Amino acid sequence: MDLPLANALGLAIFIALAGILGGTAFVMVRRDRRAKAMLRRFALERGLEYTETGRHGSQAARSMLRDDDSGLQIVITQPLTRKSGSSTVTKGGSTQLSLPDPRLDGGLAIYSTRAASGVAAAASGLLGMFDNALSRRVLSHLIGDEIGAHLGALQAFEPQDGSMVTIMASVDPTRHFDTAAIAEAIHTLPKPRHRSGMAPMILIGNQGTKIRLGEPEMDPGRLATLIDTARTLQSQLR
């Protein structure tokens, strides 16, 4: 192959690749804009205030829905991909709904889908190994200040009514809250779209009640299920 032909072939391949990458980027941007437009419309229909922040350095892009009257707030955090040396690290996105009540003053209770027998007890023992100032500081950054603060005190509690739910708490929450209502809420919440996705969790602590989904939820229908489930649970636990 002579040089002019090789150069022309290389240029054609470059143009083709640039077109593919540019087209992919265009589709992703258009999909993101459409999702945000649907989210804004959903917020308007539900009487919620909508705000968003773009990615900034190590901070992922976020969309927020808020109802000042009830104190309800939803934070949707997008996945964040960063270069770390020669490798690329991706931190998955999430959705968190917060309510100011009910709350568990001085304690923390975490509810999730039913785990295999003995798993919760083993987890509480493992968490106790990290009950020191450095571990709490590191894990608080990774999993949230509220969980980190109660790290060494979390232990497994068995639902007395046979509800299909796993309970990890710093104090016995079964005396304060209806476990069956919480179990029903967990099984009503939107399920992860991907098999590797984190199952929904409900946390009740000093700061109120939080519901966490392991994916950034932008679908209006699934967000409506999240909000309705949260408000129903709130009324049942008051």
pLDDT tens by residue, 91-108: 778 999 999 999 998 888
From 1-5, 36-40, 45-49, the region with the lowest mean pLDDT = 1-5
Summarize the confidence of residues 6-32 as an average pLDDT.
55
Question: Coil, strand, or helix at residue 56?
Answer: strand
Summarize the confidence of residues 25-46 as an average pLDDT.
76
pLDDT, position 185: 96
pLDDT, position 195: 72
pLDDT, position 79: 84
How far from 2 is each of 5, 8, 9, 15, CA to CA, in Å?
A: 6, 10, 11, 20
Alpha helices in the chain (DSSP H): 3-45, 119-128, 133-143, 145-149, 179-188, 220-237
Q: What is the pLDDT of residues 73-87, one digit of tens each?
A: 999 999 877 766 666
- Percent of the chain residues topping a pLDDT of 70: 66
Location of structure tokens 């690749």: 17
pLDDT, position 15: 58
Domain boundaries, the chain: 1-45, 49-237
Q: What is the pLDDT of residues 147-168, one digit of tens each?
A: 656 666 778 888 877 888 888 8
pLDDT, position 223: 96
pLDDT, position 149: 60
150: exposed, middle or buried (Cβ count in 10 Å: 0-12, 13-18, 19+): buried
pLDDT, position 4: 62
CA neighbor of 92 nearest in space, from 190, 219, 189, 196 = 196
d(CA 211, CA 198): 12
pLDDT, position 86: 66
pLDDT, position 140: 43
d(CA 209, CA 235): 12
- Identify the band that residue 16 occupies on the pLDDT scale cut at 50, 70 and 90: low
Average pLDDT, the chain: 78
Q: What is the pLDDT of residues 163-212, one digit of tens each?
A: 888 888 888 998 899 999 999 999 999 988 877 677 899 999 988 999 99
CA neighbor of 152 nearest in space, from 116, 128, 183 = 128
